[in-house]
Structure 1
Amino acid sequence: MKATGGPGTGDTGQARVLPLALPGAVARTFDTPEFRGVTFYEVQAKSLVNRVPGTSRVPFEWTINPYRGCSHACVYCLTGDTSILMADGTTRPLAELAVGDEVVGTVRDGRLRRYVTTRVLAHWSTVKPAHRVTLADGTTLVASGDHRFLSDRGWKHVTGARHGRSRRPHLTTANRLTGFGALPERPAESPEYRRGYLCGFVNGDGHVGPVADEASRRAQRYAAECGGLHAMAADDREYAGASVRDASAVLDWPEVPTRAWRQGFVAGLFDAVGALVDGMPRFHAVDKVVVDWLVECLAVLGFATDRSGRPASGVDDVGLDGVRVLGSTRERVRFGLLFAPAAATGTAVGDLVRGDETLRVTAIEPLGVEVPMFDITTGTGDFIANGVVSHNCFARNTHTYLDLDAGHDFDTQIVVKVNAGEVLRRELSSKRWSGAHIAMGTNVDCYQRAEGRYQLMRDILAVLRDHANPFSILTKGTLIARDLDLLQQAREVTSVSISMSVGFLDETLWSSVEPGTPSPRRRLDVVRRLTDAGLSVGVLMAPILPGLTDTPEAIDATVAALASAGAAGIVPLALHLRPGAREWYQAWLAREHPRLGPRYQELYGDGSYTPQAYQRELAARVRLAARRHGVPTGGTGTTRMPSTSGGTGVDAGDAHPADQSKHSGGQATRTTGRASHTDERAAHEQLSLL
């Protein structure tokens, strides 16, 4: 079934009727390089306008998706051995996950993120060229070039470019990922691990009698398996203590402790005298020699400790020989995985998502081979892969409704609603239709490559224009320029708006503080082009950097340029230093502008925001400049910005967290209130896709 052309080009191609879940569909292929291996299923849609589920919090209610699947072929895939963090604190290879499994994802909590439990909704595999991402702590991630990770500057693809068709936000060695880095595997119950466990358990005054306790049952089983220790199965502690003397070959400190022995020793001692206190493992041991052994084991295995025994408030004193493991989420999760005690040691769920310099990207390299890769869809839209926050493609699961898989089929089996314009005209003509705003690009890109052949959007835009129905579009497809005439006509009768983000004009400063983003001048060109086409473009003037871009002269120059480009409104936002972004920016500031250190300490202290007095002063400067140049300020820049999947690479929910919402079928944001420095920089890159 091949043809040299297709709809809209004068040829028809060969076709066949497809059974399965698409009754009456016509399958068509085209013998052109850009569509090689792709099958299009032309269907007669019964409806086109879809209502967003009532439980969703996105600021739009209706969507249109003329395509299912995406010929952009953006797959967010990882190799099957990638370690996925489960909700119970264990890990499992990505290839072995199944629908319904509970894993760890993240959700927004104000301007931050927290780890939460989420379920696997879909699981699929494909074959793609592999790239290896290496982090400063040695963590390696093998993924497709289209996979996205959460960095200190927003969601980033593994590969991309700053110019041309491949332009999109992508990782560089200036980025740090978020999470805790590579997680250890749970130890095997080897003879060395068992002997170490018994040494820690019994020296910690644990006993191995037949009691209803997992730790005691484990110790009893290990004693039986080690041979010569069967007497340890007594039910009283005194006899167990005598058994220590009788089994010194097992229960004394070995001459050369192995890694497995050390892991078992820490696990056994924790099960005997350990507990979580203030979220971190803490040990109480009366024998100083045992405490010395413990501290050495933890140090060798990468854990810092405090032997002061100082208890947290409300906690009983643990004595001078108490040992507290130092750290936070990373160390707690690593502790549970590396030692595998019977007692629960807590998970990441509920903690804030952070990153540090150990997760800085040090290398991104193609491996030159195609390998089997896997991906999942989760309820939160992300998961923890090899200890870092990883994005998934929420739209892929919709393909399973058609008896097509969410992996290779999503890229190569594209459903085309060939009668989209006709159906939309009928639906908008109905007396029941209220004329509500319609968001396009909320599932897959409506300007994907297939649109160049089928040209469905021209009919859709014509219908929206004829009915004066407000709408929004988000796309990375350059094909939108083809329809500028229709967009201009629609703008005459209804609302069509786009928002951009331009914080300042200084190109030298931009290349230093925002490497990888489109230059301010290029963003101004986009504002100008869209404005010239009759579109309303609101601009978020962010971030404004204290001491660098907040002077009256710098603000006036930026506002003048925005006014010249035709910005419909300006919303100024000062730099917000949230945890994670703070460390990155302060390091950059100390390196590039050390003289500003005292000024930033005065403005921010230990907080994330500048004082209200500074914000009022900044707003006044922008307001005065805007008056001089005839541009509105404040809420006039508020726009809807629905998100797309299937290749746009835009996560609008992360672009402006001041007022964002998210749901499994799309995302949107309003550019109101204050936004974070990190998120604004992500927005700069994401919005450049337009």
Structure 2
Amino acid sequence: MSQQHPPLVPAETRRARGAGRNMAGRFERFERVEPGTGWEGDGWDIPEPPKAWRTEVAIEAPRSAITRNASPDVPFDRSLNPYRGCEHGCIYCFARPSHGYLGLSPGLDFETRLVARPEIWRILDKELRRPSYVPAPLALGTNTDPYQPIESRFKATRKVLKVLKEFGHPVGIVTKGTMVARDLDILGPMAAQGMAHLGVTITTLDPDLSRRMEPRVPLPARRLALIRQLADAGVPVRVMVSPVIPGLTDHELEAILEAAAAAGARAASWIMLRLPHEVAPLMEDWLQEHVPGRAEKVLRRLREMHDGQLYDSRFGHRMRGQGVHARMIARRFDIAARRLGLSSGLPPLDCGRFAVPLGTQEQPSLF
């Protein structure tokens, strides 16, 4: 039988990692535990130094590139994810349970056993060439960050952007990674033609809290500098205050918006903390370990917003919650966004430039 709460992994082995456990996913029948030597307690056991969790990357050749969705909670109907799992290790990441579909843990596996799709650009090229394809904005970074550290090695996101630019296809990117500045040679010209938007996520301005909560994400000051760099290059930027953690980061809402507006952001959005499936116990562990004095307050606020539960997945509810505290946060955001000129949104992306090129990246057209 699966254990509900396997032991915490020793802290010294998970430095710069977000999760404290590596529980089995909800589809697994059994829990994985570290076996002993068999000599414990006999005076013969020789202690072994704990092994640190290292990042491993597997390669996947996907059958399709574009994922469709019909959720009324998001403004796009298609997305692409160059990676599965995310080395950023954000403890609150709502995408953690997706690792269960791979037979891996939403805990430490999600941030250490990654899957890269370096050739996904080829599949995307074929899908965009289909006569039945109708262009609409393609979202990057909806599940895992397209600019997580392994992008420097595989460049899967950059290859995808080259295809989109070649086809004149609009793209919206969500990221915490400052590596996106590397691709301004592609994104700058696309933005000038109304074909690219960027969303930069900032959860807190506190560098210490950020390092503990999202351990391999560039610090908030670097992300604010990224917003300035993108804005100066003419790329429309939205600051995404996500997630808002009631009782922990909600007091920073106005400060984050002010800092982002000063850096050049043109719009803003927010999402309440979401704790689907295995994310809830992982977040509870993290709160007790890192901010024990605030843990009960955070959990109590979340239950107030979700009819006594830590999460409610209903469309129209899951990203905002309900009740007095949820309404107060929404009202504060609206007032601050209007005051700072961040409430009008980004200009719509242009789908009218889409055209199938005569050649390919490997065999350019002679005409």
Output the TM-score relative to the length of structure 2: 0.51
Instruction: Look up the match of 2:9.
Output: 135
Question: Does the 8 A contact of 1:447 with 1:477 survive in 2?
Answer: no
**Could you say if the C-alpha distance between residues 136 and 393 of structure 1 is closer, same or farther in structure 2, counting changes exceeding 3 Å?**
closer
SS state of the match for residue 580, structure 1? helix
Q: Give 1:489 deviation, angstroms.
A: 1.9
Confirm whether residue 604 of structure 1 aligns to residue 306 of structure 2.
no
Residue equivalent to 1:171? 17
Distance 1:494 1:388, change over 3 A: closer
Deviation, structure 1 residue 480: 5.9
Match of 1:579 among 259, 272, 281: 281
C-alpha distance 436-178 of structure 1, shift in aligned 2 (>3 A): same
Once the two structures are TM-superposed, the CA of residue 438 in structure 1 deviates from its matched residue by 5.4
TM-score for the superposition, normalised by structure 1: 0.30
User: What is aligned with 1:505?
Assistant: 205
Once the two structures are superposed, residues 71-116 of structure 1 have per-residue CA deviations (whole angstroms, 9 ceiling, x without a partner) of: xxxxxxxxxxxxxxxxxx8xxxxxxxxxxxxxx9xxxxxxxxxxxx
- Quote the residue 2:234 is aligned against: 534
Distance 1:597 1:637, change over 3 A: farther
Residue among 616, 620, 627 paired with 2:338: 627
1:613–1:518 distance in 2 versus 1, CA, 3 Å: same
Residues 619 and 474 (structure 1 numbering): CA distance in 2 closer, same or farther, change over 3 Å? closer
SS at match of 1:619: helix
Task: Give the equivalent residue in structure 2 for 1:191.
Answer: none
375 and 182 in structure 1: CA distance in 2 versus 1, 3 angstrom threshold: farther
In structure 2, the partner of 1:383 is 104
1:491 is aligned to 2:170: no
1:624 aligns to what SS in structure 2?
A: helix
* Structure 2 counterpart of 1:383, one-letter code: L
Q: Is the 1:539–1:637 Cα contact (8 Å) retained in structure 2?
A: no
CA distance in 1 between partners of 2:326 and 2:271 (Å)? 8
Matches within 5 A, 1:291-690: 363-365=50-52, 380-383=101-104, 434-437=134-137, 460=163, 463-464=166-167, 468-471=168-171, 481=181, 483-511=183-211, 513-551=213-251, 554-576=252-274, 578-591=280-293, 593=294, 597=296, 601=300, 604=303, 607-608=309-310, 611-632=322-343
Q: Cα offset for 1:617?
A: 0.7
SS of 1:579 mapped into structure 2? helix
Unaligned runs of 5+ in 2: 3-7, 25-30, 37-48, 61-98, 312-320, 350-367
CA gap of 1:177–1:537, structure 2 versus 1, over 3 A, is: farther
CA distance in 1, matches of 2:125, 2:299: 54
For the residues of structure 1 that align with 2:220 and 2:197, how far apart are their CA atoms? 20
How far the C-alpha of 1:507 sits from its partner, in A, is 3.2
Cα–Cα, structure 1 residues 486 and 471, in superposed 2: closer, same or farther, change >3 Å? same
Asked if 1 retains the 8 angstrom alpha-carbon contact of 2:238 and 2:266, the reply is yes
Letter of the structure 1 residue corresponding to residue 309 of structure 2? G
Query: Amino acid of the residue matched to residue 171 of structure 1?
Result: R
Aligned-partner residue type, residue 176 of structure 1: R
Amino acid at match of 1:555: L
Report the CA distance between 1:488 and its aligned residue: 1.8
Gaps of 5+ in 1: 1-88, 90-103, 105-133, 141-157, 160-169, 186-361, 368-372, 397-413, 640-690
CA 561–487 in structure 1, closer or farther in 2 if over 3 Å, else same: same
Matched residue type, 1:135: V
Percent pairwise identity? 28
Letter in 2 for 1:561: A
CA distance 1:436–1:516, shift in 2 (3 Å) = closer
Which amino acid counterpart does residue 177 of structure 1 have in structure 2? Answer: N
Deviation at 1:565, TM superposition (A): 2.3
Residues 515 and 457 (structure 1 numbering): CA distance in 2 closer, same or farther, change over 3 Å? closer
Displacement of 1:636 in angstroms is 6.5
Contact 1:568 1:637 in 2 (8 A): no
Could you tell me how far 1:585 is from its partner in structure 2? 1.3
SS of the aligned residue for 1:632 comes to: coil
On the 8 A contact 1:571/1:637 being kept in 2, the answer is no
Letter in 1 for 2:260: L
Letter in 2 for 1:380: Y
Structure 1 residues 527 and 178: alpha-carbon distance in aligned structure 2, compared to 1, 3 A threshold: farther
SS in 1 for 2:237: strand
| Larger strand fraction of residues | 1
Residue 135 of structure 1: SS of its match in structure 2? coil
Offset, 1:558: 1.5
Quote the RMSD (CA, aligned, Å): 5.6
Q: What is the distance in 2 between the residues matched to 1:382 and 1:438?
A: 28
C-alpha separation in 2, matches of 1:532 and 1:629? 18
The separation in 2 between residues aligned to 1:489 and 1:374, in whole angstroms, is 32
